[in-house]
Amino acid sequence: MYFGITFSPLNVESFIRSLWSSNSIHKRCHRLCCHLQVDFWRPHSEDQVTIGSVVDIQIPARYLNLVYTTLDQSAMEYEIFIEDVQSAVDGQADSGASPRAHSYTKYNTWSEIEAWIDSTASANPTLVSKQVIGNTFEGRPLILLKIGKSSTSTKPAIFMDCGFHAREWIAPAFCQWFVKEAVETYGSDTEMTSLLNDMDVYVMPVFNVDGYVFSHTNNRMWRKTRSKISGTSCIGTDPNRNFDAGWCTIGASSDPCSDTFCGKTPESEIETKTVADFIRRNKSTIKAYITVHSYSQLLLFPYSYTFNLAAHHSELLTVAQGASAALTSLYGTRYTSGPGAATIYPAAGGSDDWAYDLGIKYSYTFELRDTGFYGFLLPESQIKPTCEETMLAVKYIATHVKNNL
């Protein structure tokens, strides 16, 4: 058995990767989470830890000694990935030069992204249009960019969103990169040109805008939305447990204080409802749904709410494997593909399963870099290679969809 932990000075937090392999795992796990306030990075809550799981956790400095003791008594082995999470977070902050400008190789703030959306749409009027489809809980706009050669008839479309989970900063960075590549390579890259001639791509750069803002201003490790729930002081719902797909039956929590809280009802979150309404309204044109998360280097497809295989399992798998191979061809980054339940963990209420059951056959969830070395704190120097390789996978899926309309 092993589990890992490090040494850390006061007031810093340590990040630990562990392999839990005891049969009293849940008891031990419970003690670690509840009494010691461990923050789970992977999986997202203690209920998803099973024997043999690889577990990434973050531990408050004041509990380090207690955690050492617990781990030693349990004879769990461990390895320290980030010794001082606070300085890793601080290292990601902008150097302070103001005013800040948008950059594709930086983690942009929401206000930078908003300004970038407007300038991109106005600079590319024939290819890009902006659409506000609603507002977040805190009143920020929920924005889509529709990308494609304008046409008098309705074109088939692909819907892609990024930033369901606030702390997964590489995801919105990828949606911005995708838009950049689309406008820069339309007309020169044959694959992009024919894709945007024949189809539209709806890109939602940030789904969980309130959470994203909060992860910049208050808590870098925030995951959920920022909605208030009656009867508790805990804030937010996990938007990827809030869709109406086996809602809250497995791998989700009904405890509002949990990081995987499924919400009061399916689509209780305004962000979920707004996107679900948009997709339902455009159900006949949307041929593929892609949602971008991090981290773990996975390309997942339905189902996650059940271990049953999707009706189109073999095609979904073949396309995922082709997309992963395309991704790997650039820098050798290895991806695993498969149905969510068996590949990562069963978890109901996800947007991928919901879109699939609505009739959108090509439904994929990306979990971008890395596999836990930096986790959510992926350095900005990895934005470019991550986006470049992911482009190959997304274009592979898009081209398959286009060729099979």
The residues that touch ligand ARG, with contacts defined as CB under 6 A, are 44, 240, 293, 300, 304, 340, 344, 347, 350, 352-353, 365, 367
Q: How far is the CB of 5 from ligand ARG (least distance, A)?
A: 24
Q: How far is the CB of 1 from ligand ARG (least distance, A)?
A: 25
Given candidates 140, 293, 361, 402, which one binds Zn ion under the rule CB under 5 A?
A: 293
Q: How many angstroms separate the CA atoms of 195 and 393, rounded?
A: 14
User: Residue 58 — φ and ψ, nearest 5°?
Assistant: -115, 135
Q: Return the number of the residue (165 or 402) whose C-beta is nearest Zn ion.
A: 165
Q: Return the number of the residue (288 or 347) whose C-beta is nearest ligand ARG.
A: 347
User: Residue 383 — φ and ψ, nearest 5°?
Assistant: -65, -50
The answer to whether 83 is a known catalytic residue is: no
- Residue 26's nearest CA partner among 7, 49, 56 is 49
Interaction of residue 220 with Zn ion, rule CB under 5 A: no
Classify the phi-psi angles of 263: left when phi > 0, otherwise alpha if psi is within -120 to 50, otherwise beta. left
Q: Return the number of the residue (4 or 372) whose C-beta is nearest Zn ion.
A: 372
Closest residue to ligand ARG in the complex (CB): 350
Element (H, E) at 116: helix 110-123
Would strands 298-301 and 336-339 be described as parallel, antiparallel, or unpaired?
Answer: parallel
Q: How far is the CB of 294 from ligand ARG (least distance, A)?
A: 9
Q: How far is the CB of 120 from Zn ion (least distance, A)?
A: 25
Q: Which does 339 bind (CB under 5 to 8 A by kind): ligand ARG, Zn ion, none?
A: none
C-beta atoms surrounding 138 within 10 Å: 15
The two tokens of residue 3 are: 């589990």
Q: Which does 300 bind (CB under 5 to 8 A by kind): Zn ion, ligand ARG, none?
A: ligand ARG
Q: How far is the CB of 154 from ligand ARG (least distance, A)?
A: 29
Provide the sign of the torsion angle of the four alpha carbons 361, 299, 50, 223, taken in this order: negative
Q: Return the number of the residue (171 or 387) whose C-beta is nearest ligand ARG.
A: 171
- Cβ contact 380:106 at 8 Å: yes
SS3 state at 132: strand
Q: How many angstroms separate the CA atoms of 282 and 347, rounded?
A: 26
Q: Return the number of the residue (350 or 372) whose C-beta is nearest ligand ARG.
A: 350
Element (H, E) at 106: none
Q: Which of residues 119-178 bind Zn ion (CB under 5 A)?
A: 165, 168
Closest residue to Zn ion in the complex (CB): 293
Question: Which residue is catalytic, options 114, 269, 367, 389?
Answer: 367
Active site residues: 367
State the residues that interact with Zn ion by CB under 5 A. 165, 168, 293
